[in-house]
Amino acid sequence: MTKKTGNQVQNPSVLDNFKPLLIDVAVPLGSYYVFKDAFGMSTFAALAWSSVVPAVRTGWSLVRDGRTNGLAGLILVVNVVSLLLSFVSGDPRLMLAKDSGVSSTVAIGILVSVALGKPMMTAGMKPFLVKGDAVKEAAWQRLASGAAAGSADFRRKEKAFSVVWGVVLLAECVARFVGAYTIPVDTMVWLGGVFLMVAMVIGFVVSGGLAVGPMERMLADEVAAGRAERPAVTVAA
């Protein structure tokens, strides 16, 4: 989602795109230990109450934005359905496993966006490369539209960036699901956050080397090519 400040439009950074995901890790983790240790709740009750926050946050973001966000809506449905199933079963491990459902929803959403030719993660990467420079913005548009010589390779790298994040989050989802049923619950509560942090580090490193670096060089080359092709201005005597 873009943000407007005065007459300027600010595109979200990659970190902005993942901020809700980070909040959905930090808040439930802290509240779990508060509910369990400070209030003496059972493991299941502490997990249940700490899981309400992400669902409420996602629902509120949809109401606040005043428009439908397909991915946010899907995440909200996954959270609500998982919570209901967990209450029916009373199984704390199922409560932990539901977090993998959220990760997989994001991952699948990213991969589907690539298949549709509209890589979701581009919105977070583009501001990092363009940096508000009108010349770089024009060069990006030429590369993305197919008007530049290096367009095909540029668009492949653009897709690769989103694919890396989709695959990394999908792997994190599998790790969370396996951990939910093989690792002690109290350990998995904080270890799930570690899984996400590790996944994000891997995502930044791999996507940076595979896509961001090459795209930055292609963008610089296109800027230089645009300047070279610009006709010289003659001044009449």
pLDDT digits (tens, 9 = 90+) for 200-225: 899 999 999 999 999 999 999 999 98
pLDDT, tens digit, for every residue of 38-64? 677 766 676 666 666 666 766 666 667
Which of 234 and 62 is assigned the larger pLDDT?
62
pLDDT of residue 189: 84
What is 129-175 written as a DSSP string? HHTT-HHHHHHHHHHHHT-STTHHHHHHHHHHHHHHHHHHHHHHHHH
The DSSP symbol for 9 reads E
Q: Which of 14-28, 31-45, 162-176 has the highest mean pLDDT?
A: 162-176
Tell me: pLDDT of 236 over 60: no
Whether residue 154 has pLDDT greater than 70: yes
Mean pLDDT check: name the lowest of 129-143, 165-179, 184-198: 184-198
The full set of domain ranges for the chain reads: 11-228
Predicted confidence (pLDDT) at residue 83 exceeds the cutoff of 70: no
DSSP characters over 182-216: HS-HHHHHHHHHHHHHHHHHHHHHHHIIIIIHHHH
Local confidence band at 4 (pLDDT 50, 70, 90 cut-offs): very low
Query: Rounded mean pLDDT of 217-237?
Result: 73
More confident residue, 176 or 88: 176
Tell me the average pLDDT of the chain. 77
Per-residue model confidence as pLDDT tens digits over 122-143: 888 888 899 888 999 999 999 9
pTM of the model: 0.72
- The H or E element that residue 3 is part of is strand 3-5
Q: Answer yes or no: are the C-beta atoms of 173 and 104 closer than 8 Å.
A: yes
Of the candidate ranges 73-77, 168-172, 214-218, the one whose mean pLDDT is the lowest: 73-77
